[in-house]
């Protein structure tokens, strides 16, 4: 009997000690299976769905340098946490007779404000002398062109975007608004912009920022013509949306940087091309 009493007492103490170590979790009451979540001042409606399949349902919060206030909102209740990097908050969402163990964790943001700043710097154009005039002229399609032209074009029958007007390797003259044949000095200036103006190099850059509008209405182009007077390559350009399209994958794309299209626009204007270049 004594041995049984001691065993019973030991079990009682162990259970009591274990129960004292378990924190009492906050409880959020909910009448529905979905809840809203507010991240600082941004409300994400019905973004949290209760799931009985998960032992603990975790909401990871990416933290950069400032904490984020996270609020779970049901139709009848709410609970808030100010989450810093490394924080972990457990609570219970109670709906009817069911309890859902939920956790909020503060994790390191994959992209920080510093990363954003570096990507912005990288996007800025930098003038270099990476390639000499001779080296630039050896690049395709400049090395195969007998003549290079700047053009502007339109299509009065179309209210939508149109392709650069080349048919059977010939320009459709009826759609051409401006046309400029480049001399040697003008070609050299073009290749300098193409090959020697690009993004500012940044070490340890995590991602690349892109500056572009959603529209694409090309009105200008660079046309490469061979010894048989055929258009064998071209670059279609939309200055308004900072976009372009190359006629083939053989053309090495220029390095898109923030001011590139402004520089090209000025170059076209200097050569007398007005349509699609002048801002209205």
- Per-residue pLDDT 10s for the chain (280 aa) are 445 555 454 555 554 554 455 679 999 999 999 999 999 999 999 999 999 888 999 999 999 888 999 999 999 999 999 999 999 999 999 999 999 999 999 998 877 778 888 888 889 999 999 999 999 999 999 999 999 999 999 875 555 567 899 999 999 999 999 999 999 999 999 999 999 999 999 888 877 777 666 678 899 999 999 999 999 999 999 998 899 999 999 999 999 999 999 999 999 999 999 999 986 4
Strands (E), the chain: 27-29, 34-39, 42-49, 57-63, 68-73, 78-83, 88-95, 98-108, 125-127, 147-153, 166-167, 170-171, 176-181, 197-199, 220-225, 231-238, 243-246
């Amino acid at each position: 009997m004594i041995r049984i009493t001691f065993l019973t007492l030991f079990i009682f103490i162990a259970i009591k000690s274990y129960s004292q170590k378990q924190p009492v979790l906050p409880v959020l009451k909910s009448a529905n299976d979905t809840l809203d979540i507010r991240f600082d001042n941004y409300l994400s409606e019905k973004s949290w769905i209760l799931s009985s399949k998960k032992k603990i349902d975790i909401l990871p919060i990416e933290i950069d340098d400032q904490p984020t206030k996270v609020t779970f909102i049901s139709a009848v209740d709410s609970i808030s946490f100010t989450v810093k990097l490394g924080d972990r908050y457990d609570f219970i969402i109670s709906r009817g007779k069911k309890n859902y163990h939920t956790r909020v964790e503060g994790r390191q943001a994959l992209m920080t404000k510093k990363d954003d700043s570096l990507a912005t710097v990288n996007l800025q154009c930098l003038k270099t002398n990476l390639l000499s005039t001779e080296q630039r002229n050896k690049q395709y399609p400049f090395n195969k062109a007998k003549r290079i032209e700047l053009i502007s074009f339109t299509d009065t029958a179309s209210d939508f975007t149109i392709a650069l007007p080349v048919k059977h390797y010939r320009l459709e003259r009826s759609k051409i608004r401006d046309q400029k044949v480049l001399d040697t000095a003008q070609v050299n200036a073009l290749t300098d912009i193409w090959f020697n103006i690009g993004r500012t190099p940044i070490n340890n850059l995590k991602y690349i920022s892109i500056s572009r509008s959603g529209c694409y209405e090309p009105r200008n182009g660079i046309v490469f013509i061979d010894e048989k007077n055929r258009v064998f390559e071209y670059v279609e350009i939309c200055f308004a949306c900072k976009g372009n399209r190359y006629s083939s994958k053989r053309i090495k794309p220029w390095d898109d940087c923030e001011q590139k299209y402004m520089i090209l626009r000025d170059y076209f204007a200097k050569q007398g091309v007005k349509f699609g270049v002048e801002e209205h």
